[in-house]
């Protein structure tokens, strides 16, 4: 059950938290499910690498994540709605509408970045998609089992879901009802439409979530980089990933 | 010249150990404080630790895939004598300069 009082309260306003690191040609960084900008892009050394490359950065906490509003209503989560949040953040950061930015996204953030390229094609110059394959994980998950785990701690049969949600709930500040709404709202079909911009797909060679990332790259007509020895949660900080992404965007 | 060693820092959030994923410098490298030093994996995520010290890297006290506890010796540098007495801590990566919140209407 979603507590209606809380839902009513957050319906009135949505706050999107974003941060700007000054520098040339800022790169928009989009984190994944149950993460936030600090975990995905600061602690992993990404902002340092972006700055060293002479580039600026705009990081956005997606709705339901980090310091943005933790909405509890599944209808308020979709790749398109989150892409809209990115547009608002770009506008607020002073990026001109006719000045496309490079985008680096990870895991669920890739679906948001692809939606951005679809709904606001003039805002995107190049795309880097990390930790993503053709599988759409949320559509494979049983939402009732996810709810039972997130609200009552009931162990789920789906081991990958259990592992992902366990890590999700270990992140301070994560809200189980917002994560559940996000899972339900974001669940959808596989990525099919290729973006109209040059795209790079990268994934850890041991990434269970993105085991067929190379297949996705082929479908999107994208370049592909395999990150040696890394799995889904360790590929994001890899030097190989950073170098490949920054070279691709240079 | 003198040597100075650093321990695996407290990574916060009750984390007591981390596994070395990859050293980002080599033995003999001259590194500056704040430069990326090593990537480690906790039970929650991967973290890149900046160098706590400017100096020449002389010893890694853990190899890739080794598990370290907070407080275990991580790395030793060779530094100028006048720096040897300084006890440092591994700095955290710095957050960006500008923080903004946006108020949006309902979808």
Alpha-carbon distance of A93 to A20, in angstroms, equals 7
Partner-chain residue, chosen from B36, B95, B98, that has the shortest CB–CB distance to A42: B95
Alpha-carbon distance of A35 to A210, in angstroms, equals 17
What lies within 8 Å, CB to CB, of A247 at 6+ separation is none
Interface test with B, best of A12, A48, A246 (most B CBs within 10 A): A48
For residue A131, which of A101, A104, A161, A106 has the smallest C-alpha distance?
A106
Residue A43, in any domain of the structure = yes
Residue A9, in any domain of the structure = yes
Partner-chain residue, chosen from A15, A22, A81, that has the shortest CB–CB distance to B103: A15
CATH number at residue A237: 3.40.50.1820
Residue A13, in any domain of the structure = yes
Three-state SS annotation for A151-192: HHCCCCCCHHHHHHHHHHHHCCCCCHHHHHHHHHHHCCCCCC
Count of domains forming chain A:
1
Residue A169, in any domain of the structure = no
* CB B88, CB B53: distance < 8 Å: yes
Residue A25, in any domain of the structure = yes
The CATH class, in words, for B2-83 is mainly beta
Partner-chain residue, chosen from B24, B44, B102, that has the shortest CB–CB distance to A16: B102
Q: Minimal Cα distance from A85: which residue of B?
A: B104
User: Residue A190 is part of which domain span?
Assistant: 4-136+176-249
Taking the CB of residue B73, how many other CB atoms lie within 10 A of it? 14
**Cβ-defined contact of A19 to B107 (cutoff 8 Å):** no
Residue A157, in any domain of the structure = no
Interface test with A, best of B14, B18, B38, B44 (most A CBs within 10 A): B44
Q: Which ipTM did the prediction report?
A: 0.76
Residue A225, in any domain of the structure = yes
Partner-chain residue, chosen from A17, A21, A67, that has the shortest CB–CB distance to B97: A21
Distance from CA of B45 to the nearest CA of A (A): 6
B26 touching A (Cβ < 8 Å)? no
**Cβ-defined contact of B47 to A43 (cutoff 8 Å):** yes
Domain residue spans of chain B: 2-83
* Tens-level pLDDT at each residue, chain A (250 residues): 222 222 223 334 788 999 999 899 999 999 999 999 999 999 999 999 999 999 999 999 999 999 999 999 999 999 999 999 999 899 989 999 999 999 999 999 999 999 999 999 999 999 999 999 998 889 999 999 999 999 999 999 999 899 999 999 988 899 999 999 999 999 986 666 788 899 999 999 999 999 999 999 999 999 999 999 999 999 999 999 999 999 999 9
Residue A93, in any domain of the structure = yes
């Amino acid at each position: 059950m979603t507590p209606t009082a809380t839902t009513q309260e957050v319906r009135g306003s949505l706050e999107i938290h974003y941060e700007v690191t000054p520098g040339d040609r800022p790169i928009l960084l989009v984190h994944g499910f149950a993460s936030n900008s600090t975990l995905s892009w600061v602690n992993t050394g990404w902002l340092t690498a972006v700055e060293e490359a002479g580039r600026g950065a705009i990081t956005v906490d997606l709705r339901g994540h980090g310091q943005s509003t933790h909405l509890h209503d599944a209808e308020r989560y979709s790749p398109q709605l989150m892409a809209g949040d990115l547009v608002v953040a770009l506008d607020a950061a002073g990026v001109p509408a006719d000045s496309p930015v490079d985008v680096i996204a990870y895991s669920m953030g890739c679906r948001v970045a692809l939606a951005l390229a679809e709904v606001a094609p003039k805002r995107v110059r190049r795309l880097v998609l990390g930790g993503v394959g053709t599988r759409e994980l949320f559509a494979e998950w049983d939402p009732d089992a996810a709810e039972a785990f997130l609200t009552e701690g009931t162990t789920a049969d789906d081991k990958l879901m259990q592992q992902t949600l366990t890590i999700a709930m270990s992140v301070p500040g994560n809200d189980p009802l917002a994560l559940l709404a996000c899972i339900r709202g974001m669940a959808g079909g596989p990525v099919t439409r290729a973006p109209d911009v040059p795209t790079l797909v990268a994934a850890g060679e041991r990434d269970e979530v993105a085991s067929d990332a190379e297949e996705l790259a082929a479908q999107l007509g994208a370049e592909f980089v395999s990150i040696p020895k890394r799995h889904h949660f360790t590929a994001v900080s890899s030097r190989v990933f950073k170098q490949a992404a920054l070279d691709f965007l240079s | 010249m003198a040597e100075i060693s650093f321990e695996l820092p407290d990574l916060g959030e009750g984390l007591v150990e981390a596994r070395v994923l990859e050293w980002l410098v080599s033995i003999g490298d001259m590194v500056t404080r704040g430069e990326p030093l090593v990537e480690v994996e906790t039970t929650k995520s991967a973290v890149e630790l900046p160098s706590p010290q400017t100096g020449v890297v002389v010893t890694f006290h853990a190899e890739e895939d080794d598990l370290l506890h907070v407080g275990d010796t991580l790395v030793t540098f060779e530094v100028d004598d006048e720096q040897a007495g300084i006890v440092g801590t591994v700095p955290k990566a710095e957050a960006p300069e500008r923080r903004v919140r946006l108020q949006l209407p309902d979808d």
